[in-house]
Amino acid sequence: MQAAQLSVGLDVGGTKTAALLVDSSSCVLGQTTVPTHTATPDELLATITRAIHAVLAEANATPQQIRSIGLGVPGQVDPATGIVKLAVNLNLQTFPLGPTISARFKAPTFLENDVRTAAIGAFDYLRQTEPVQSIAYVSIGTGIAAGVILNGRLHRGQNGMAGEIGHMTVEPDGELCNCGLRGCLETIVAGPAMIRQMNIASPQNQVQNAGAVYEAAAQGNQAAQQVVQRVSQHLSRAIQWLIMTYDVEKVLLGGGVTRSGEAFLAPILRELARLRQQSTLAAELLPDEKLYLIPPDYNPGVWGAVHLANQMSSETITHISANDKGRSSLKT
């Protein structure tokens, strides 16, 4: 392993950063998760550097063997320049993250928004078994957002914001969102929103995470069942919008909240069934098979970042479609 043939993908989150080191056949040589430090840009750079050195150490490799680096970043980024325009959770504004990492490791570095990056990873995962071309990937965790791939190409939109469904208004007089508007989808469907709704409805049983809400609902807690019902109704409508807006073949669901598995999925499927009963249009466009739950042991964010590293960016992801053999087709 002397030639520079290794790729590093990083999913840089507000609290933790995951990294994956792969060889030219996309075999995993190293993986790690480290806490993200965001007090200053230097601390964030140190976090990324630490994660990269950790995966290199696991593979007994050196920085000189890195061919390219991909970064999924929670915020607005300019993939062409590698500049992070605004990433509130990383405490960054107009910061040249891509060029800085590139200079530090002497390797080309590619950036994309984290949910768009995860959409690429999710798309690739599904394509190992199904020849899909157009998907929406919905990430439901501390927030909710989607990434859209149309005809094998990442759809970014004018500002790279295509799929930011979390800030679509669903209840004009609802809760105040941190974006400044009221009643955004994210004030109802997201981990913190579920915890808040549950703790207001049932102050005697404070929960710490969305999984506990699903568990309480399964055990017959009525407050939890109502929260799950409300979340599932809104989420099924969001899925309907994505299908109606983009006419995608599949809607893939991932992120922390989806880790409750069947308990998460079943009430959404019930809602979709209810819509199908009411409408032949819904019956045609919203079959259960449209939904796909990303398994919890696959991290689409970090795999999407590996694709970025391999220059499977918005311009070149179509190569996957053209060659179509899943990860084995990854070439630069």
Q: Which residues contribute to the site for Zn ion (CB under 5 A)?
A: 167, 177, 179, 181, 184
The distance of closest approach from Cβ of residue 177 to Zn ion in the complex, given in angstroms and rounded to an integer, is: 3
In angstroms, what is the minimal distance from the CB of 42 to Zn ion? 31
167 versus 307: smaller Cβ distance to Zn ion: 167
For Zn ion, give the closer residue by CB, 45 or 168: 168
To the nearest whole angstrom, how small is the minimum distance from the Cβ of residue 166 to Zn ion? 6
> Counting Cβ atoms within 10 Å, is residue 22 exposed (0-12), middle (13-18) or buried (19+)?
buried
Minimum gap (Å) between residue 188 Cβ and Zn ion? 11
Whichever of 149 and 190 has its CB closer to Zn ion, that residue is 190
Q: Which of 151, 66, 67, 163 has the alpha carbon at shortest distance from 113?
A: 163
| The token pair that represents 246 in the structure block | 């983009």
Any idea of the CA torsion for 227, 231, 234, 235, to the nearest 10 degrees? -170
Nearest-angstrom CA–CA distance, 156 and 317: 13
59-63, Cβ contacts within 8 angstroms, sequence gap of 24 or more: 59/1, 59/6, 59/21, 59/29, 59/30, 61/1, 61/6, 61/21, 61/29, 61/30, 63/105, 63/106, 63/107
Q: Can you tell me whether residue 179 is helix, strand or coil?
A: coil
Closest approach, Cβ 171 to Zn ion, in A, equals 11
* Between 29 and 238, CB nearer to Zn ion: 238
How near is the Cβ of 302 to Zn ion at its closest, in Å? 27
| Closer residue to Zn ion in complex, CB, 111/189 | 189
The beta strand positions in the chain, using DSSP E, are: 6-12, 16-22, 28-35, 66-73, 76-78, 83-87, 92-95, 109-113, 135-140, 144-150, 153-155, 250-254, 291-293
Q: Which of 116/167 has CB closer to Zn ion? A: 167
User: What gap in Å lies between CA 162 and CA 154, rounded to an integer?
Assistant: 10
Residue placing its CB nearer to Zn ion in the complex, 192 or 326: 192
Q: What is the Cα–Cα distance from 139 to 123, expressed in whole angstroms? A: 13
Q: How far is the CB of 311 from Zn ion (least distance, A)?
A: 33
Q: Could you give the maximum distance between any two Cα atoms of the chain, in Å? A: 62
